[in-house]
């Protein structure tokens, strides 16, 4: 039987840094308020001429280098993003062109903050069925493009970045299981109420920005992520103590802490990068994974649980042996 295993990781953050002190000059907020409620200290913001594909490319190249894989070996490209470069072609196709890869399937996945988890699940199934042997999976966002910087409820939360993994076919289990869910009944709690089909008038009127009912989203995220942890463990006959590392979506330190308590996992075993780059949506999980792999915390053979929650609502998890 085929399995997929992470062969390499990579990430990239744009050069411009926006600190909490910078935001104090832009909206009615304070460094203390942001830290206490979110755990965020700074976020990276793409330059005006920097696109999602511009962030995805260096993250992808670093993952390829770490995996010791030539771009010609890639036979599947999936990019998880809410902020594509253009209406079409997909950001995955644009990335494929940048990497000089030809002929393999390339497409985007849109599940907002859960996008990378969704994309890994799709790539895993391609490899398990023998439809691919070496997949490049990227989460990349220029989320700052859909943030109203005069709204203190959302402007303090989000940043830009990209993370990537290379998945290779293996005879030994790497990815053990994936669990994906969505419920569109909650779309009004977290959304951008504009788009191509609705017409560009909303965009021109300034309506193409993220809207969030923060308290309700927080409660749903904590409850839902607790359930996905239980579901993942039960599906695999595991105990909470069997998880070596939790790699959560980096949205809010309080949500991360609540999920860790659910696992009875000390925060020393949770990868937390939210203070350094805020909520980078689909990029946050692979960014956190790459940081912990490269600084030596995560070692081969350890059991990892990646989980995320995003607009839709969407939520999901990936259980894997690294």
The sign of the torsion formed by the CA atoms of 202, 203, 206, 208 equals positive
Q: At 169, which helix (H) or strand (E)?
A: strand 161-170
State yes or no: is 44 an active-site residue: no
Structure confidence by residue, pLDDT tens digits, 34-61: 999 999 999 999 999 999 999 999 999 9
Residue 203 clears pLDDT 70, i.e. is over it:
no
Confidence of residue 199 (pLDDT cuts 50, 70, 90): confident
The fraction of the chain above a pLDDT of 90, given in percent, is: 94
Mean predicted confidence (pLDDT) in 158-165: 98
Residue 205: predicted pLDDT: 63
From 113, 134, 252, 277, active-site residue:
113
The sign of the torsion formed by the CA atoms of 138, 291, 279, 320 equals positive
Mean predicted confidence (pLDDT) in 125-144: 98
From 20, 249, 252, 277, active-site residue:
249
From 44, 53, 277, 279, active-site residue:
279
Residue 194 clears pLDDT 90, i.e. is over it:
no
Query: Angle between the 52-67 and 284-294 helix axes, to the nearest 10 degrees?
Result: 40
Residue 201 clears pLDDT 80, i.e. is over it:
no
State yes or no: is 179 an active-site residue: no
State yes or no: is 2 an active-site residue: no
Confidence of residue 195 (pLDDT cuts 50, 70, 90): confident
Residue 89 clears pLDDT 90, i.e. is over it:
yes
Confidence of residue 163 (pLDDT cuts 50, 70, 90): very high
Residue 206: predicted pLDDT: 61
The tokens for 200 are: 């560009």
Structure confidence by residue, pLDDT tens digits, 266-289: 999 999 999 999 999 999 999 999
Q: Under a CB-based contact definition with an 8 Å cutoff, are residues 192 and 146 in contact? A: yes
pTM over the 0.95 mark: yes
How would you class 153 by CB atoms within 10 Å of its CB: exposed for 0-12, middle for 13-18, buried for 19 or more?
Answer: middle
For residue 204, what are the contacts with CB-CB under 8 A and spacing of at least 6?
none
The tokens for 115 are: 């996008």
Residue 264: predicted pLDDT: 92
């Amino acid at each position: 039987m085929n399995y997929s295993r992470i062969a390499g990781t990579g990430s990239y953050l744009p050069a411009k840094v926006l600190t909490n002190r910078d935001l104090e000059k832009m909206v009615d907020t304070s460094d203390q308020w942001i830290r206490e409620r979110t755990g965020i200290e700074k976020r990276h913001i793409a330059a005006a001429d920097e696109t999602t594909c511009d962030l995805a490319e260096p993250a992808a190249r670093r993952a390829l280098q770490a995996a010791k894989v030539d771009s010609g070996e890639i036979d599947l490209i999936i990019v998880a993003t809410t902020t594509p470069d253009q209406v079409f072609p997909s950001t995955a196709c644009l990335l494929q062109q940048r990497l000089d890869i030809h002929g393999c399937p390339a497409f985007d996945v849109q599940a907002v903050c859960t996008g990378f988890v969704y994309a890994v699940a799709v790539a895993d199934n391609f490899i398990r069925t023998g439809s691919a042997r070496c997949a490049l999976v990227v989460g990349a966002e220029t989320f700052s493009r859909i943030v109203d910087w005069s709204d203190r409820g959302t402007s303090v939360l989000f940043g830009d970045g990209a993370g990537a993994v290379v998945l290779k076919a293996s005879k030994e289990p790497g990815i053990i299981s994936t669990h994906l869910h969505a419920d569109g009944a909650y779309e009004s709690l977290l959304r951008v109420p504009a788009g191509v089909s609705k017409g560009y008038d909303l965009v021109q009127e300034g309506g193409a920005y993220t809207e969030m009912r923060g308290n309700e989203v927080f409660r749903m995220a904590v409850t839902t992520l607790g359930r996905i942890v239980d579901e993942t463990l039960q599906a695999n006959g595991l105990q909470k103590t069997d998880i070596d590392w939790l790699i959560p979506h980096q949205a809010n330190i309080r949500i991360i802490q609540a999920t860790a308590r659910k696992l009875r996992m000390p925060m020393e075993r949770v990868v937390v990068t939210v203070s350094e780059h805020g909520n980078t949506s689909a990029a946050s999980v692979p960014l956190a994974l790459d940081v912990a792999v490269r600084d030596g915390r995560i070692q081969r053979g350890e059991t990892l649980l990646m989980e995320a929650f995003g607009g839709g609502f969407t939520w999901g998890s990936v259980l894997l042996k690294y």
